[in-house]
Structure 1
Amino acid sequence: MWVAFKQHKWKILLMLGSLPLLLELSLRFFQPAALDYERNLKLLHVYHPEYLVGLEPHADYYIRHNQGLWEGHFTTNSLGYRGSREPVENVPQIGCLGDSLVMGFGVSDEDTFCNLLNGIKINGTTYQTQNLGVDAFGTRGYYYRLKEATERLPDLRIVLFFPSPNDFVIPESLRQRGILPDDEVDRNREQNPESFRQFKYSFQLTRYSVLLHSGRLAVAKLNVRRRTIWSDIWRDLYQIGLYNPEDGPVLYPQIPVERRGLFPYLREAFYNPPPRPDCNASTGNGEQSVGCPDPIPHNVTCLPNETTLSDLEPLPEYTRAYYDRMI
C-alpha cells in the first residue's frame, strides 16, 4: 500500500487539495437556504481595526430568515450607517448609538426607530438622523463608533444612546453555555492583544470563504450543544422521576408536579396536540384572544416588585471606564 501511495502520491495530494475547492464551489452554487441567511448577515459586516465589526458601506440586501421569522430590506449609506440617507451639509443631525436593538435587527429599514425619527423637529429645528448602531457592540464598540462619528459628521448635535444589559451582565444559564457579556469578551481581548489579530484573520477568512464560514457555524453550534446536553439529560431524568434533588423545583420551575413521571414525559415527547385557542385572555377590546401567551422560559425569574436602583449591582469597572471616555 505504501508503494502504491508513493507511485501516485501527487495524484492523491492533488485530489485531497482540490476537495476543499470543490466543496467551496458547491456551496456557492447550490446556496443552501439555511446557510444563505447566515451568509447575507456575514457579508453585511466588515472588519474594522478599532471596533472590530462595522457595516459594509453602500450595502443593499434583502434578508429573509430561513425559518420565516423575519424578512426585510437592509441598506447602508456611504458611511456604513443602516437605513440612513447621506448626511446633508449644514443640517443638524441626531446619531442613534447602540447594538442590534438600535441597528434594527429583525426589521426592515423603514421600521427602525432611527429612520422613523428622521426629519423630527425640536424647538423649530429639523434634524436628520444617522443610525450608528451595529449588532454585537459592547461598550468599547460604542466608544470607538461614536469617536469615529464625531469626526465624520461635523453637524452631529445629539446622540441617542441605548446600551444593552448584556453588554455587562449575562444570565447564568447562558454563561454555562460559554456565552459571555460583550464587555467581558472585549476586556479579555485587551488583555491578550494577539486575540485581536486572530479575530481579524478569522473574520476575514470566514467572510470570503463559504466553506470556512459554514464550518465555523457548525463548530459553534456543536459547542453550545455540548455544553447543554448534560443539563438537558438531568432535566429529563428529573421529569421522569429518576433524579430528585432537593432544589429540583428551583432548578426546573418549568416542570410542575402534574408533568412529572414516565407517562407525562412520553406523552409530551411523542404527542403534541394543537394549542388550545381559549386561555381566558382578553385582547383589550372585549374579544377573546385567539392564542395562548407563550410560557415563561425556565431561566427567567419573575420578581413580585420592581427592582430599585439601590438593589442593582454597580457597573463593572471596564464598562464605567469606557462610559467616562464617551462623555
Structure 2
Amino acid sequence: MREVTYSRKIRFQFLLYSVFLFLLLEVLLRLPYFPSVQFRLEDKKLHCLETSGGLFSIPWMRLCPNQSLELYHPEKNIRYRVSTDFRGERITYRVGADVNDISGGNSSKQDVPEVWVLGDSVALGYLVSDQESLPWALNSILEQKNTRIRVRNLGVDALGSFGIQERLTEVLKDSSPPIVAYWIYHISDFTDSYRELQLQNSVKKRIFVRVSYILSKYSAVFNTFKIVYERYKPESAENLVIPSSGSVLGPDHPHRKAAISLFEFVKEKKIPLVLVFLPEPNEKYEPVVDSALVKEVRQIAIDSGIPVLDLQQTIYDYWKKDSQEIFLPKDGHPNPSLYRFIASEIEKDIH
C-alpha cells in the first residue's frame, strides 16, 4: 500500500514540475531574445479558421477581418504591414488619408465592376506591405487610367486548387461574378492538392489541423518545436522549382483532378477565369521558365477551355534585360518591383 501511495506521489510531482516547466518556457520564449517565436505568434493574429460548417467540416484558413499589423520576419530580415477589410480580404486601395484606416471599406460597392486576384501567398503578397502587393499595384494602375474597376485580393496562404474553388463559393454568396478573375498559379499548389485531399477524406486530419491551429496561435512552446522541425527537415527550402522530368501529373493525380474541378466550377458559375503563369525561382533565385509541372497544368487549362496569360518568358526577358533582382532574398516570392511589372502586364490583358 505504501508503494502505491509513493508511486502516485512521484507521478503527481512529475506532472506538477512538467506543468511548471511548460509555463516557464511559455513566458521565456515570448521574450525579445526569440524573435522567430514572436513572429509566429504575431503572424497567427492575421489567420482565422473558417468554422461555419461545424466542428468536423474542412477547416479552411482565411485572413481575419479588420486587421492592421506590422510584422518582422527575422530569418529573412523583412518588415512589412498587412491590413484586411471587414470581409477578411487584404486591402487593395487607400481609404482616406491613412492606409491604416480600413473602416471605410465596409461597403461592398456592388455597382463597381470588379477584378479578382486568386491564389496563395503570391497572390496575397507574402512578405510585402499592402501597397507593394500585386492586387494593390493593379488597382493603382486602373485608378490612374480613370477606370471604374475595383481589384479584390482573394489570395490566402497555402491555398490549393480545391481551396480556391471553396473560396469562390464563399465569395459568390455576397458578390456577383467579376469582369475577370486572375488565378496566379504557383508550384506549391502541387503539394497543397495532397493536403486538401487529406482534409476532404479524413476527419482525424481535420481535427489535427484545428488543434494545431489553436496551439500555434497561443503557444510559444509549440511554435518553437515547429521552427526547429522546419529548420532541419530536408524540404525546408521554400518556393523552389520542383525537380521533375517527363510526366508529373498522372490521370488520377489529385492536382489534376482539383484543377479540372475548379475549371468546371468557374464555367458553371460564369466566372471568366484567366490562369496566370509566372517563372519560378531556382536555388540561385533566378527565374526558370516552363518547368514540367507548369507545362502540364497549362495544357490542362487549354484543354478545359480556360484562357492562359503566360508571363514566364516576358518576365524572364525583363529580368535578363535589367539584371535586377525580382525575387525576395532568402525566400523566392516576387519582390515589389516584379509585382508592379506583373500588374502592368495584367492591366494590358484587361483591356
Secondary structure of 1:321's match? helix
Deviations 1:236-285 (CA, angstroms, capped at 9, x unpaired)? xxxxxxxxxxxxxxxxxxxxxxxxxxxxxxxxxxxxxxxxxxxxxxxxxx
Counterpart CA distance in 2 for 1:197 and 1:7 is 34
On the 8 A contact 1:114/1:129 being kept in 2, the answer is yes
Q: How does 1:167-178 map to 2 (within 5 A)?
A: 167-168=189-190
The answer as to 2:39 corresponding to 1:37 is yes
The amino acid that maps onto 1:147 is T
| Greater relative contact order (CA < 8 Å, ≥ 6 in sequence) | 2
2:145 maps to 1:118: no
Is 2:216 aligned against 1:206? Answer: yes
SS of 1:219's equivalent in the other structure is helix
Give a deviation string over 1:95-115, Cα, whole Å, max 9, x none: 111111110112111011201
Instruction: State whether structure 2 residue 25 is matched by structure 1 residue 23.
Output: yes
Offset of 1:132 from its aligned partner?
0.3
Residue number among 237, 253, 256 corresponding to 1:316 in the alignment? 256
**Whole-Å separation in 2 of the counterparts to 1:13 and 1:312:** 50
Question: In 2 relative to 1, CA 20–112 (structure 1 residues): closer, same or farther, beyond 3 Å?
Answer: same
Percent identity, aligned pairs only? 21
Residue 51 of structure 1 and its aligned partner are, at CA, apart by 6.1
* 2:92 corresponds to 1:71: no
Pairs within 5 Å for 1:231-310? none
Q: Does 1:326 align with 2:257?
A: no
Q: Structure 1 residues 31 and 142 mapped into 2: Cα distance closer, same or farther (>3 Å)? A: farther
Deviation at 1:27, TM superposition (A): 2.1
State the SS of the aligned residue for 2:48.
strand
User: Which residue does the alignment assign to 2:151?
Assistant: 129
Contact kept in structure 2, 1:51 and 1:145, CA below 8 Å: no
2:172 is matched with which residue: 150, 166, 170? 150
Offset of residue 154 of structure 1: 4.0
- Give the aligned residue type for 1:129: V
Instruction: Give the 3-state SS of the residue equivalent to 1:159 in structure 2.
Output: strand
Distance in structure 1 (CA, Å) of the matches to 2:19 and 2:248: 56
Which residue is equivalent to 1:96? 117
Once the two structures are superposed, residues 152-171 of structure 1 have per-residue CA deviations (whole angstroms, 9 ceiling, x without a partner) of 33474432222223313xxx
Structure 2: unaligned runs, 5 residues or longer:
52-57, 94-104, 268-351
Alignment match, 1:217: 227
Instruction: In structure 2, give the amino acid aligned to 1:24.
Output: E
What RMSD in Å do the two structures reach over aligned CA positions? Answer: 3.5
1:90 maps to a residue whose letter is D
How big is each residue's C-alpha offset from its partner over 1:167-222, in whole Å with a ceiling of 9 and x where there is no partner? 13xxxxxxxxxxxx111221233232331122112212221222222223323444
Tell me the SS of whatever aligns to 1:95.
strand
Aligned twin of 1:81 = 89
Please say which of residues 98-107 and 123-132 is displaced more in the overlay: 123-132
Structure 1 counterpart of 2:126, which letter?
A: F
Which residue identity does 2:64 align to in structure 1?
E
Q: Write the distance in 1 (CA, Å) between the matches of 2:216 and 2:257.
A: 33
- Seen in structure 2, the aligned counterparts of structure 1 residues 221 and 197 have a Cα distance that, compared at 3 Å, is same
Instruction: Give the counterpart letter for 1:28 in structure 2.
Output: R
Pick the aligned partner of 1:54 from 50, 53, 62: 62
**Bigger Rg, which one:** 1
Residues 56-91 of structure 1 show CA distances to partners (whole Å, capped at 9, x for unaligned) of 111211122203442211111111111335233422
Seen in structure 2, the aligned counterparts of structure 1 residues 188 and 20 have a Cα distance that, compared at 3 Å, is: same
Contact 1:97 1:162 in 2 (8 A): yes
CA shift at 1:43, angstroms?
2.5
Aligned to 1:291: none
Scaled by the length of structure 1, what TM-score is found?
A: 0.62
Partners in 1 of 2:44 and 2:183 — Cα distance? 25
- Provide the residue aligned with 1:159 in structure 2: 181
The answer on whether the counterparts of 1:84 and 1:130 sit within 8 Å (CA) in structure 2 is yes
Task: Find the aligned partners of 2:81 and 2:257 in 1 and give their Cα distance.
Answer: 38
Contact 2:59/2:210 (<8 A) preserved: no
Secondary structure of 1:320 counterpart: helix
Per the alignment, residue 108 of structure 1 pairs with 129
Asked if the contact 1:167–1:182 (Cα under 8 Å) also holds between the matched residues in 2, the reply is yes
Counterpart Cα distance in 2 of 1:75 and 1:204: 22
**Contact 2:30–2:38 (CA under 8 A) maintained in structure 1:** no
Report the equivalent of 2:197. 187
CA contact (8 A) 1:92 1:155 kept: no
Question: Match for 1:60: what amino acid?
Answer: S
- Residue identity in the other structure for 1:23: L
Confirm or deny: 8 A CA contact 1:77 1:84 kept in the other structure. no
Q: Is the 8 A contact 1:76 1:84 kept in 2?
A: no
Mark the runs of 5 or more structure 1 residues left unpaired by the alignment: 169-180, 229-296
